[in-house]
């Protein structure tokens, strides 16, 4: 069984039993299709709905689960709902809102078509012969990344042109552009559109329209639904290929090529814009990435400055860059010359501004770009995960922070002592440091995982002098994080350890008194009663260890 299949099966089980925490964790798995079904046509949402798990249904909807009442799956989900609360939630859930919440990549591309944000750079215009008043202000890089036809044209016939006149049917051209920018809504069968899709190299669009031929309403609705999901995945795939091409177009300047000695270098003070010459700038400007800005990184690992041809429209997915581009200092010096035409103007990019990313490793910078341009990272080495987490936090990319946490938690799933001991060698940080990092980056998923790993190995940590001291130090730090802490205040780390101990030993509450009343079961000497009694004794032993740590630190929590 493949890893993807196992994750999906685990998700189905968690949805059936209502395990909210497990569902939340599994939904962060890269490339998981939340809307796929099993061999009995059950999707995660259908199972959560018919089993009556309100919170799980709500979580699935906000994370991208689709409930389209015009499809068989949607009807089954709604009318099979165990209670009215779930049924009403499903009926009132707006698919367009779902896309905005769960598909930030798709909604961002769609927002670029008629941008409200003035920082989105339109750099090419399409006018139609049949509709002279209809003008499309578009983005070269997105056309090149999504259409092989446009890529060839932009590198040849359209290379030095800002305004392109096309003879296409306006309706067909609009649907082509809607597809490229993920604005497609409902498809209709159109032979001319099929031919245009083939010309532009948009095979999935053409194939989806072909499927609509002679289909009834319900069949068309399902085809539309499935096609829109395919379109988003194809766009992400296209942009993954494009960002790799963009990264290949980077320019690297070795420190040894510059006019200072290596021991004189102050990396933080370096200004990358001072070291790129006109020829190199022209090389980036004329690359097949069609950039409108250059992102630079001072790489202390390879002693070099790396320059990437990028696009403001995509960097704006990070609030950090959005704030930067809106700042007075940046905007006053970075206005493009424009090309004016009857219906307005577009940018005429003849030179590129250079911005610096506060990252000391170009490998990490390329992971950031990969995520921003196609919403995922295909492969993330463990050794780079924490560096990426710090940059993701600085750039305010919360989903990327979650992916970083999942990259660690998915590799250490057993909460064993061996995993505890191997964490530093494989990740670069031990479990105690991971908690400190989670505090710094506000990464709750990593904090909870690391705390659980400590709780599940508490006895061995307690009996290891080195780890015993490290845990005491961490508990003390957790206590000090509460401003003006009183003696009776709780300590977050201690509370979390106690919580995970209760999970480990099956305690229904927070203390041994909250075990289910075993009554006569213990006196009968059954195997179950022995297991439960041993679990309670082990739980009480571990709780005593926690209290011992607190006594040594003179803390009360």
DSSP 86-139: HHHHHHH--HHHHHHHH-HHHHHHHHTTS-SSTTS---EEEEESS-TT-EEEE-
Taking CB atoms within 8 Å and a gap of at least 24, the contacts of 335-338 are 336/121, 336/292
pLDDT value of position 544 = 92
CA distance 309 to 315: 12
Q: How far apart are CA 47 and CA 65, in angstroms?
A: 12
Give residue 517's pLDDT. Answer: 43
pTM, full prediction: 0.77
The first and second tokens of residue 341, run together, are 């035409």
Q: What burial class does residue 364 get, using C-beta atoms within 10 Å of its C-beta: 0-12 exposed, 13-18 middle, 19+ buried?
A: buried
Q: For the segment 253-299, what is each residue's pLDDT rounded down to a tens digit?
A: 998 877 665 556 677 778 888 899 989 999 999 999 999 999 999 99
Distances (CA, A) of 243 to 246, 287, 538: 5, 13, 53
Q: What are the backbone angles phi and psi of residue 209, rounded to the nearest 5°?
A: -70, -40
Q: Are 203 and 197 in contact (CB under 8 A)?
A: yes
Q: Strands 353-356 and 293-299: what pairing?
A: parallel
Domains, the chain, with CATH or none? 3-99 (1.25.40.20), 109-245 (3.30.710.10), 248-374 (no CATH), 382-552 (no CATH)
Q: How many helices (H) and strands (E) does the chain have?
A: 29, 9
pLDDT on residue 137: 87
**Cα–Cα distance measured from residue 529 to residue 523, given in angstroms and rounded to the nearest whole number:** 8
Secondary structure letter of residue 337 according to DSSP? P
DSSP for 14-47 reads HHHHT-HHHHHHHTTSTT--TT---TTS--HHHH
Q: What is the mean pLDDT of each run of 10 residues along the chain (557 residues)?
A: 83 91 83 84 89 89 73 71 82 48 74 75 82 82 96 92 81 90 83 92 92 80 80 92 96 83 67 89 92 94 94 93 85 62 65 90 96 90 96 93 90 92 95 96 92 95 95 92 58 91 74 45 56 84 92 83
């Amino acid at each position: 069984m493949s890893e993807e299949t196992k994750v999906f099966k685990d998700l189905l089980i968690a949805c059936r039993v209502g395990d909210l925490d497990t569902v939340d964790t599994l939904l962060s798995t890269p490339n998981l299709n939340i809307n796929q079904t099993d061999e009995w046509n059950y999707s995660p949402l259908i199972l959560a709905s018919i089993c009556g798990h309100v919170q799980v249904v709500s979580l699935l909807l906000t994370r991208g689960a689709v409930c389209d009442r015009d499809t068989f799956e949607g009807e089954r989900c709604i009318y099979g709902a165990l209670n009215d609360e779930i049924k009403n939630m499903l009926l009132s859930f707006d698919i367009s809102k779902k896309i905005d919440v769960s598909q930030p990549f798709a909604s961002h591309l769609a927002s670029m078509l008629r941008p409200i944000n003035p920082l989105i750079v339109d750099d090419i215009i399409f006018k139609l012969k049949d509709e002279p008043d209809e003008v499309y202000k578009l983005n070269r890089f997105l056309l090149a990344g999504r259409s092989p036809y446009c890529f060839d044209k932009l590198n040849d016939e359209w290379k030095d042109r800002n305004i392109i006149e096309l003879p296409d049917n306006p309706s067909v051209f609009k649907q082509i552009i809607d597809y490229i920018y993920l604005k497609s809504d409902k498809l209709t069968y159109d032979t001319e559109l099929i031919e245009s899709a083939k010309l532009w190299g948009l095979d999935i669009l053409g194939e989806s329209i072909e499927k609509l031929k002679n289909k009834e309403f319900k069949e068309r609705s399902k085809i539309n639904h499935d096609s829109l999901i395919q379109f988003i995945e194809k766009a992400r795939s296209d942009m993954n290929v494009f960002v790799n091409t963009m990264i290949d177009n980077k320019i690297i300047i070795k420190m040894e090529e510059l006019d200072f000695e290596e021991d004189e270098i102050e990396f933080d003070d370096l200004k990358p814009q001072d070291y790129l010459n006109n020829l190199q700038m022209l090389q980036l400007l004329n690359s097949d990435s069609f950039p409108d800005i250059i992102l630079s990184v001072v790489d202390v690992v390879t002693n070099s400055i790396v320059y990437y041809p990028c696009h403001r429209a995509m960097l704006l997915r990070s609030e950090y860059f959005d704030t930067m581009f809106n700042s007075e200092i940046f905007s006053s010096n970075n206005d493009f010359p424009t090309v004016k035409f009857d219906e307005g103007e577009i940018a005429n990019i003849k030179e590129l501004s250079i911005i610096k990313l506060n990252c000391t490793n170009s490998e990490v910078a390329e992971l950031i770009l990969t995520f921003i341009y196609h919403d995922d990272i295909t492969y993330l080495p463990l050794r780079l995960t924490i560096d990426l987490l710090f940059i993701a936090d600085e750039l305010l990319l919360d989903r990327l922070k979650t992916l970083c946490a999942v990259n660690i938690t998915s590799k250490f799933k057993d909460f064993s002592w061996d995993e505890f001991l191997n964490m530093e060698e494989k990740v670069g940080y031990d479990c105690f440091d991971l908690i400190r990092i989670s505090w710094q980056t506000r990464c709750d998923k990593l904090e909870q995982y690391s705390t659980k790993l400590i709780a599940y190995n508490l006895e061995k940590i307690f009996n290891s002098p080195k780890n015993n001291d490290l845990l005491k130090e961490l508990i003390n730090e957790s206590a000090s994080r509460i401003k003006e802490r009183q003696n009776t205040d709780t300590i977050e780390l201690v509370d979390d350890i106690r919580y995970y101990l209760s999970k480990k030993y099956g305690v229904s509450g927070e203390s041994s008194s909250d075990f289910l009343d075993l009554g006569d079961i213990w006196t009968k000497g059954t195997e179950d009663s022995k297991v439960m009694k041993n679990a309670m004794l082990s739980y009480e032993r571990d709780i005593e260890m926690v209290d011992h740590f607190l006594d040594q630190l003179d803390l009360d929590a």
